[in-house]
Structure 1
């Protein structure tokens, strides 16, 4: 192989190495998400994680530097999935989109309870980085609701205040529901949808640029 061919081969090999590295990192995050799904942060040591993953502990340190770094990567991946599930269906009619947003949110919380509690409560000892991740997901969800309700992402202050209050209520309701789950998800979803409908009506009374949905399309 001449020098020109060698130079051409290096980027190809580098790209393949990067893909393998990214795939390996994603695999470790997937394993971690399963491990932390119903197990608290403190209950799992790095030795436990490495044993369950079937890898050397050093490999986890190589990709994530520390247990906390690994945990934060898992939380970020969980948040990304929550946002995708909750904010999908932009091509759907408004009523269907609102239902899908709330149902996706509850479905995620139901099947990833430990991760959801971490996102909502702020993680280990109210970790500032986890709180920042939580604030990010809240912003994404507020935007999804605003776009579904009014077709806009810029939210007037009074509307934002009301939606933040509703979202805080959603988090409290969801956390309590996870503790008992005596009600099915559909019932909880409809409760939250009705609460949102009332919130949107209240916003419409205060902010003409954000009119309440008409009854037949709410």
Structure 2
């Protein structure tokens, strides 16, 4: 079996052998984030990546299995940062937490446009693994919103569906903003927050057991 046929999964135990090993892997992922931000997946070879990182390509195979495994690791790392930005400051009052969540989300999208587009679009072509990563980040973001709005993560069908629709709206608005850059980030954030508040009030109308939080103006 050649390297292109190997699993994209990191070989068991290798990435976590030592702190230095973890640091080295993180350094390689950082290189990937820079590369994939300016170059398409298909245009990059494993040799290009190794040259940019200043390592033998065997080291990339050692940590990531193949180029696809490397790409998925870069996407996972980007997702982790996106979620961390959105989930911070959990003790804030509802309105401040809502704005903080949206601001972190938009800051990430603006500063890591290629990674954001990859996460939202599902990756290279129809990529089931990247779609699964996207679904996980959506679930984390929905949990963050639910905890901020209702003080609990579990949602029944109606609020889950409504908030999933709102998140799709945010993704569409963010992609349009990145394309045109004709609004400032605060205005985009205010627009998304206003639509979320309308969504929460609509949820309350159909499911009174989910009262819309009072978040002020």
**The residue matched to 1:133 in structure 2 has which SS?**
helix
Alignment correspondent of 2:83: 83
Runs of 4+ in structure 1 displaced over 6 angstroms? none
Superposition TM-score, scaled by structure 1 size = 0.89
Q: How many residues are aligned here?
A: 202
Aligned to 2:213: 213
Contact 1:38 1:113 in 2 (8 A): no
Q: Per-residue displacement from partner, 1:101-127 (whole Å, max 9, x unpaired)?
A: 011001000011111011000001121
Structure 2: how far apart are the matches of 1:145 and 1:94? 9
> Does the alignment pair 1:47 with 2:47?
yes
Name whichever structure is richer in helix by fraction.
1
List alignment gaps of at least 5 residues for structure 1: 1-15
Provide the C-alpha distance between the structure 1 equivalents of 2:113 and 2:165, rounded to a whole number of angstroms.
22
TM-score w.r.t. structure 2 length? 0.90
Task: Check the 8 A contact 2:83/2:140 in 1, yes or no.
Answer: yes
1:185 aligned residue:
185
In the TM superposition, what are the counterparts of 1:69-148 in structure 2 within 5 Å? 69-148=69-148
State the 1:52 CA deviation. Answer: 1.1
Structure-2 residue corresponding to 1:9 = none
Structure 1 residue 38 displacement after superposition: 3.0
Instruction: Evaluate the alpha carbon distance shift between residue 166 and residue 17 of structure 1 in structure 2; reply closer, same or farther with a 3 A threshold.
Output: closer
What SS does the corresponding residue of 2:89 show, helix, strand or coil? coil
1:42, distance to aligned residue in structure 2 (A): 1.4
Tell me which residue corresponds to 1:6. Answer: none
State the shift of 1:39 in Å: 2.4
Structure 2: segments with no counterpart, 5+ residues: 1-15
Number of the residue aligned with 1:153: 153
**Do the aligned residues in 1 keep the contact of 2:88 with 2:101 (CA within 8 Å)?**
yes
